[in-house]
Amino acid sequence: MKAFRTILLPIFILIILSCGSDSVASGNKTVPAIYELMPGGTHFYEGNTLKGLAFLASEMSLLTAGIVLENKRDGELNIPLLFAGQIYTIEKCDYSLRKITDFYRTHTYRNRAIRYDNSPLVELMSAPFRPTVIFSPLVLCWAVLGFFDGMYAYPEHNSTWHDIDNARLYGSTHDRGQSTFWYETSVSAISWGAAVSEEMLFRGIMLPALDKRYGKRAGLITSSLVFGLLHLSNPGIDKPVYFVTQATAAGLAFGYHAQRNQYRLDKVIAAHFWYNIVSMTTTWLANPKENPLEFSVRFTL
């Protein structure tokens, strides 16, 4: 179950991309399946060797690390494996968005232009760290909501960060400072990976595709519900109704903002990132026993 989302999301991409790019296939040469599926494949097919190598190296090294560490886990999340899936998702969404925007630049659907975010990938990837984006009302609001989620989603609070003696990670024991370093490093990586990959997929591709077919209201509701239900595959889910409701509400807020701003993704990516990282950091400080990465924490007596 803990690796389920890692497997599910890249597979789910193929369904979403086919939904969003069916019209593109009629106007562009079809990419062979081997290039569509392999890490870095679409970039190699286009002749962009450096970009293909960058994705191939990052995805395969993380995948290898995840396989090596799988047997060393003591219940904690397989972070390299999850991150590999997120990078794979970003790569495939980047290719699809470029092809879709190229097609719709000169085409309309039902007498109206179709908008997708055609920002360069580097801009989407750096969105959570740009000051002009961070200090927007949407991002600040969701960062604050992340604090409340971290405080109340896991309400036990019997022991706090100050009570940590050590934590185990992939078979090794680390003191409070070391375990906090590894926790925050991991949280930062997967929060960034989740924000970029999921927003590119759900608000970047799925939402505009559904909007153009069924209208904005149906597109917003459907994409948000799918986004919310996907969070049932999160590790350590013990409050499924809460987490599905929370994720669906976020999907509605992010989707509505995207619709109102010509489907631009920079602020929704940043809001998603800062919500996740603030929430998970707050939980580690206030209630580390129930941390979402499922580190095995031991406390002082």
* C-alpha R_g of the chain: 20
Closest CA to 260 of 94, 137, 87: 137
Q: What is the pLDDT of residue 236?
A: 55
Q: Would you state the torsion angle of the CA atoms of residues 54, 56, 62, 66, taken in this order, to the nearest 10 degrees?
A: 180
Q: What is the pLDDT of residue 75?
A: 84
> To which residue do tokens 């990976």 refer?
193
Q: What is the pLDDT of residue 101?
A: 73
Q: Give the DSSP H/E element, type plus range, for residue 53.
A: helix 49-70
Buried/exposed code over 121-157 (b: 16+ C-beta within 10 A; e: otherwise) = beebbebbeeeebbebebbeebbebbeebbbebbeee
For 107, residues 6+ apart whose C-beta sits below 8 A from its C-beta are: 23, 27, 114
Q: What is the pLDDT of residue 12?
A: 52
Q: What is the pLDDT of residue 196?
A: 96
Q: What is the pLDDT of residue 102?
A: 72
Q: What is the pLDDT of residue 30?
A: 64
The Cα–Cα gap between 32 and 262 comes to 32
Q: What is the pLDDT of residue 7?
A: 46
Is 65 exposed, middle or buried, given 0-12, 13-18 or 19+ CB atoms closer than 10 A?
Answer: middle
E strands in 46-193 = 108-109, 112-113, 164-169, 172-175
Q: What is the pLDDT of residue 3?
A: 43
Run means of pLDDT, 10 residues per run, the chain, 301 residues: 46 48 47 77 87 93 92 89 92 85 64 76 95 96 94 82 93 94 96 95 91 90 91 66 88 96 95 96 93 92 70
The SS3 of residue 22 is helix
Q: What is the pLDDT of residue 96?
A: 85
Q: What is the pLDDT of residue 27?
A: 45
Taking a C-beta distance cutoff of 8 angstroms, is the pair 207, 259 a contact? yes
The Cα–Cα gap between 135 and 144 comes to 12
